Chain A
Amino acid sequence: MELLSGADMIARFLKDEGVEYIYGYPGGAALHIYDALFRQEEVKHILVRHEQAATHMADGYARASGRPGVVLVTSGPGATNAVTGIATAYMDSIPMVVICGQVASHLIGEDAFQETDIVGVTRPIVKHSFSIRHPSEIPEVMRKAFYLAATGRPGPVVIDIPKDMTAPTERYEYVYPKKAKIRSYNPVTRGHTGQIRKAVDMLLKAQRPVLFAGGGVITGRASEALTDLARRLDIPVITSLMGIGAYPQNDRQSLGWPGMHGSYESNMAMHESDLVVGIGVRFDDRVTNNVSKFCPGARIVHIDVDPSSISKTVRADVPIVGAADSVLNEMLGMLSEREQENREALDEWWRRIDGWRGERQGKLYEPAAPGEPLKPQQVIEAVHRATNGDAYVVTDVGQHQMFAAQYYKFNRPNHWISSSGLGTMGYGFPAAMGIKLSYPEEQVVLFTGEGSFQMMMQELSTCKQFGIAVKIINLNNASLGMVRQWQDLNYKSRHAHSYVESMPDFEKLLAAYGFRAITVSNEEDLPAALDATFRSKDELVFLDVHVDPYEHVYPMQVPQGAMRDMLLSKTERT
């Protein structure tokens, strides 16, 4: 048995838990913990330049690896700066443990220097939170925090630690707790067999079924089971934005992703379907459009590990509470005893789907003619080719995010990394950094825009300090593109504050940190620039691509319409 201070217990627990990196920023209330980190070598701390970046780094790492990302910040402003990143992780169900320093116990409630009730502030955006009241609780609370963050429906967990809990003079017994026991928390794994049988029955008989897979398939590591099921039954697969990569997009059965800017064929197919089997999705309002017009002819099977997701927005006819992997495998097991009764209907269904595909073939956008500004879409397609479709692709939020989701094709899970639920501008750059640190041999590409990038560009300094070589593709349209698009469509092109009047010289900006920026404004220069960007995996390169500022993202669902009600270009609608 060892006697350790609270601060040393934290450092030791992280090591025993196998945490390689933590992301954070020191300050008064966290200094005992920082001192403990200084006195060990296993857990590496990455010093960010703003605490929000620490949470996004942890988030990016978590999405790519499936393991909780760990953040360490101080009390007060340190903790409140982390709030946006915690909310981002919460909305997308990303496992994260955020350790916040707090003022000493005897000062709590006295409006002490750098005091904030961070447990109170973050209460609506965490899966759970803990306040440490005695140093000896630390190992057990840390165990519970990691367990809660990573199991069931994952999410962020905050641990608030008053400074006196980590004092070097107070030492207690430390044992690494292998298991957490929480009597009120028993996440389900297996679904109800009777319900699963019912769902299988419906799948074998449906005339126009679709599988609709979300982030739950990726966090639940159920891609393989999903792929098996889809192929065995020859059923089209639509993934949500969070589910991109859960099913290979180069496969004939993949219809892409649905919703506001989703593919024409996925929106048409989902609307016309008679059975939607949702797996680890939450039927978000950006997917369903007007819920009362959602899939009028379809029955809904909804599989989710979180019962509160089921029938929240769309009423499920067959609810199945269970982990995606377990439920899908149970379905596969049942298939061997059963005959598929809908082969002919499916042939007809595929004819209709192929018809929808054909209608839009080659009409998605007009590539730039010589001398015209580049289209953002063609830049994404060029990056896809330059990286063999193999990179980790991280985005910020806006038009570039939708274009990246539409035109980069993903064939495996955990490679599409984007703030989908909260839509956090500034997310992308730090998230990409978090991934690159842990996967240095991989290409990590950030698609961003000059609006989003300027929200977190101070992290160039962190990249310099730790040698983090992400590839930044800045789709520079000199305006807040998505805001501008909405203003074009809904506000008679009154561009209220969607124009960024003083753009920095990105080459000089990057040079200030010792990095290279390449500016491209026409098609002829793009291949060479991409070649220079991706030549090595060890150099941060910023590719500033000047693109057409007038381009809109299409398809775009018509507000309050059904899924199939879409604008297809500036002049066409369904």
Chain B
Amino acid sequence: MRHIISILMENEPGALSRVVGLFSQRNFNIETLNVAPTEDETLSRLTVTTNGDDRIIEQITKHLNKLIDVVKLVDLTEGAHIERELMLVKVKALGSARDEVKRTVDIFRAQIVDVTPSVYTVQITGDAQKLDAFLQAMGPVGVLEVARTGVAGIARGEKLLSIQT
């Protein structure tokens, strides 16, 4: 099963490599990875999506927790949560396809953020499935380049991933 694990870790050199290294050392899999500083400058938030049965996910969270640089973590998929990913896509926009692309962009509530006579650059946010669906819809037109951020996620409601709680 797919899991989204969000990690608060020390904003220190080397912390990221310890987390990523753990996955390769222990033969765990990383599907997407997203990391950036938080409102607390001493902390970074890292979100990883991974696959595994309960036993593997338990091992992943235990081993992550054991890393000295990891302050706190949560498996967002254990509860209600919001996941978002941002994607920038360059697609061919020539002739009749130009209108077709525009229509599909509107259907997906995406935005065209850059234009040339032959290329649209589209920005789209949503969960991973929506982004996949958009790419599939664009398939026949011609996707030229894709840049995805990887999943960022947060729990619904009042539940916080924070060192204050």
Interface residues of A (CB under 8 A from B): 119-120, 123-124, 127-129, 131, 148, 182-185, 306-308, 311-312, 315
User: How far apart sit A184 and B8, CA to CA, in the bound complex (Å)?
Assistant: 10
Shortest B66–chain A CB gap in Å is: 5
Residues of A within 8 A of B55 (CB): 311, 315
Q: Which 6 A-B pairs have the closest CB atoms?
A: A308-B62, A184-B71, A128-B68, A124-B25, A307-B62, A308-B63
User: How far apart sit A124 and B66, CA to CA, in the bound complex (Å)?
Assistant: 13
* A182–B59 touching, CB < 8 Å: no
- Which one of A184, A307, A311, A315 lies within 8 Å of B10 (CB-CB)? A184
* A119–B62 touching, CB < 8 Å: no
Residues of A within 8 A of B66 (CB): 306-308
* B69–A184 touching, CB < 8 Å: yes
Shortest A150–chain B CB gap in Å is: 14
* A184–B70 touching, CB < 8 Å: yes
A-B contact pairs, 15 of them (CB 8 A): A119-B14, A123-B18, A124-B21, A129-B14, A131-B14, A183-B163, A184-B68, A184-B70, A184-B71, A185-B68, A306-B66, A308-B59, A308-B63, A312-B59, A315-B55
Residues of B within 8 A of A120 (CB): 17
- Which one of B13, B68, B71, B72 lies within 8 Å of A148 (CB-CB)? B68
Residues of A within 8 A of B72 (CB): 184
Q: Which A residue's beta carbon lies closest to that of B163?
A: A183
- Which one of A123, A182, A308 lies within 8 Å of B21 (CB-CB)? A123
- Which one of B17, B25, B68 lies within 8 Å of A182 (CB-CB)? B68
Contact residues of B between 47 and 93, Cβ < 8 Å to A: 55, 58-59, 62-63, 65-66, 68-72
User: How far apart sit A469 and B94, CA to CA, in the bound complex (Å)?
Assistant: 85
A-B contacts besides A120-B17, A184-B68, 9 pairs, CB < 8 Å: A123-B17, A123-B18, A123-B21, A124-B25, A129-B14, A182-B68, A184-B70, A184-B71, A307-B62
If the complex has contacts A307-B62, A308-B63, A311-B58, are A127 and B68 also in contact, measured as CB distance less than 8 A? yes
Residues of B within 8 A of A128 (CB): 68
Residues of A within 8 A of B13 (CB): 131
Shortest B46–chain A CB gap in Å is: 14
User: How far apart sit A148 and B17, CA to CA, in the bound complex (Å)?
Assistant: 19
Q: Which B residue's beta carbon lies closest to that of A127?
A: B68
Between B68, B69, B71, the greatest number of chain A beta carbons within 10 A of the residue's beta carbon is seen for: B68
* A183–B71 touching, CB < 8 Å: yes
Summed over the interface, the residue pairs from A and B with CB atoms below 8 Å come to a total of 37
* Size bin of chain B's contact surface: 20 to 34
Residues of B within 8 A of A182 (CB): 68
Residues of A within 8 A of B59 (CB): 308, 311-312
User: How far apart sit A185 and B69, CA to CA, in the bound complex (Å)?
Assistant: 9
Residues of B within 8 A of A127 (CB): 68
Residues of A within 8 A of B58 (CB): 311
Residues of A within 8 A of B68 (CB): 127-128, 148, 182, 184-185
User: How far apart sit A115 and B10, CA to CA, in the bound complex (Å)?
Assistant: 26
User: How far apart sit A556 and B69, CA to CA, in the bound complex (Å)?
Assistant: 42
Q: Which A residue's beta carbon lies closest to that of B14?
A: A119
Residues of A within 8 A of B18 (CB): 123
Q: Which A residue's beta carbon lies closest to that of B42?
A: A183
Residues of B within 8 A of A311 (CB): 55, 58-59
Residues of A within 8 A of B10 (CB): 184
User: How far apart sit A120 and B65, CA to CA, in the bound complex (Å)?
Assistant: 20
Q: Which B residue's beta carbon lies closest to that of A315?
A: B55
Q: Which B residue's beta carbon lies closest to that of A144?
A: B68
Q: Which B residue's beta carbon lies closest to that of A133?
A: B13
Shortest A117–chain B CB gap in Å is: 10
Q: Which B residue's beta carbon lies closest to that of A182?
A: B68
Residues of A within 8 A of B17 (CB): 120, 123
Shortest A454–chain B CB gap in Å is: 31
Between A120, A306, A308, A315, the greatest number of chain B beta carbons within 10 A of the residue's beta carbon is seen for: A308
If the complex has contacts A119-B14, A129-B14, A183-B71, are A307 and B25 also in contact, measured as CB distance less than 8 A? no
Residues of A within 8 A of B62 (CB): 307-308
User: How far apart sit A184 and B69, CA to CA, in the bound complex (Å)?
Assistant: 7
Shortest A376–chain B CB gap in Å is: 37
Shortest A160–chain B CB gap in Å is: 10
Shortest B154–chain A CB gap in Å is: 21
User: How far apart sit A182 and B67, CA to CA, in the bound complex (Å)?
Assistant: 12
Q: Which A residue's beta carbon lies closest to that of B63?
A: A308
Contact residues of B between 4 and 22, Cβ < 8 Å to A: 10, 13-14, 17-18, 21
Shortest B111–chain A CB gap in Å is: 39
Q: Which B residue's beta carbon lies closest to that of A119?
A: B14
Shortest B30–chain A CB gap in Å is: 16
Q: Which A residue's beta carbon lies closest to that of B13?
A: A131
Residues of B within 8 A of A129 (CB): 14
User: How far apart sit A308 and B56, CA to CA, in the bound complex (Å)?
Assistant: 11
Residues of A within 8 A of B14 (CB): 119, 129, 131
Shortest B68–chain A CB gap in Å is: 4
User: How far apart sit A123 and B14, CA to CA, in the bound complex (Å)?
Assistant: 9
Residues of A within 8 A of B69 (CB): 184
Q: Which A residue's beta carbon lies closest to that of B68?
A: A128
Residues of B within 8 A of A184 (CB): 10, 68-72
User: How far apart sit A148 and B66, CA to CA, in the bound complex (Å)?
Assistant: 12
Q: Which A residue's beta carbon lies closest to that of B60?
A: A308
Q: Which A residue's beta carbon lies closest to that of B66?
A: A308
Residues of B within 8 A of A131 (CB): 13-14
User: How far apart sit A311 and B55, CA to CA, in the bound complex (Å)?
Assistant: 8
Shortest B93–chain A CB gap in Å is: 43
Residues of A within 8 A of B25 (CB): 124
Residues of B within 8 A of A307 (CB): 62, 65-66
Q: Which B residue's beta carbon lies closest to that of A157?
A: B68
Residues of B within 8 A of A185 (CB): 68
Shortest B73–chain A CB gap in Å is: 10
B25-50 interface bits toward A, Cβ cutoff 8 Å, 1 = contact, 0 = none = 10000000000000000000000000
Residues of B within 8 A of A148 (CB): 68
Shortest B6–chain A CB gap in Å is: 15
